[in-house]
Amino acid sequence: DAEVVFVGRSNVGKSTLMREITGHTFDTGSKPGVTRSPNHYDWTSEDFVLTDLPGFGFMSGVPEEQREQIKTNIVRYIEENADKILVGVLVVDGKSAVDIIDRHSGEDEVPYDVEMFYFLRDVGIPTVVAVNKMDKVDDQDERLDELCDRLGLHPPWKQWQDTIAPISAKRGNVDALNEAVKDHLHEAKRDDL
């Protein structure tokens, strides 16, 4: 089955987003690091599987070693299923993503969000960045331009609406993500013909 995968650091609102999109209830971070089984997802008229990969990053009570293992598992899962994965959705917190990226940028450190964005593209998976919690962001255009810049996409962000999708899962504003994912799904279909 065709698949759409959701990845993101812990607490970015991934569970809230998936609940909003599917109407199903997802465990919210109660068991960090436990891979939940793929859920059938009914976004468009086509059937495809939605895969919720575990949250990553700081999780209280989860030792560094286990966090590395979680990351390894995520990467392995994506590599092994790359053929079936039509779209990757990287969920970030619009309020804090740029700050977190800048804090973790160093000589031998690549921030998780940046690493995951490039990884998905390297394995050939079209990726949408769902920039969540935009209800908490005042200077939205500026913030989205900064995020583009950090991801290596030339601002203005409005040129990247198939990649950058500002949303507020909690408020139910997820149209930008719907549109971006649909574009990629249709593209994938055309390539199949």
In the complex, which residues of this chain contact ligand GDP (CB under 6 A)? 8, 10-16, 28-29, 55, 132-133, 135-136, 168-171
Q: Would you state the structure tokens that stand for residue 83, as one six-digit string?
A: 């053929």
- Which lies closer to ligand GDP via its Cβ, residue 130 or residue 185? 130
Smallest distance from the beta carbon of 166 to ligand GDP, in angstroms? Answer: 10
- Which lies closer to ligand GDP via its Cβ, residue 8 or residue 126? 8
Which residue, among 29, 90, 88, has the nearest Cα to 55 in the 3D structure?
Answer: 29
- Which lies closer to ligand GDP via its Cβ, residue 173 or residue 187? 173
CA distance 97 to 102: 9
Smallest distance from the beta carbon of 7 to ligand GDP, in angstroms? Answer: 10
Smallest distance from the beta carbon of 76 to ligand GDP, in angstroms? Answer: 21
Smallest distance from the beta carbon of 96 to ligand GDP, in angstroms? Answer: 11
Q: Would you state the structure tokens that stand for residue 5, as one six-digit string?
A: 């995968």
Q: Would you state the structure tokens that stand for residue 154, as one six-digit string?
A: 């030339």
- Which lies closer to ligand GDP via its Cβ, residue 80 or residue 99? 99
**Residues listed for the chain:** 193
By the 10 Å C-beta count (0-12 exposed, 13-18 middle, 19+ buried), 180 is classed as buried
Which residues on neighbouring strands pair with residue 59, listed in sequence order?
A: none
- Which lies closer to ligand GDP via its Cβ, residue 12 or residue 78? 12
| Separation of first and last alpha carbons in the chain | 17
Q: Where is 60: in which H helix or E strand?
A: none
Smallest distance from the beta carbon of 35 to ligand GDP, in angstroms? Answer: 14
CA distance 78 to 142: 32
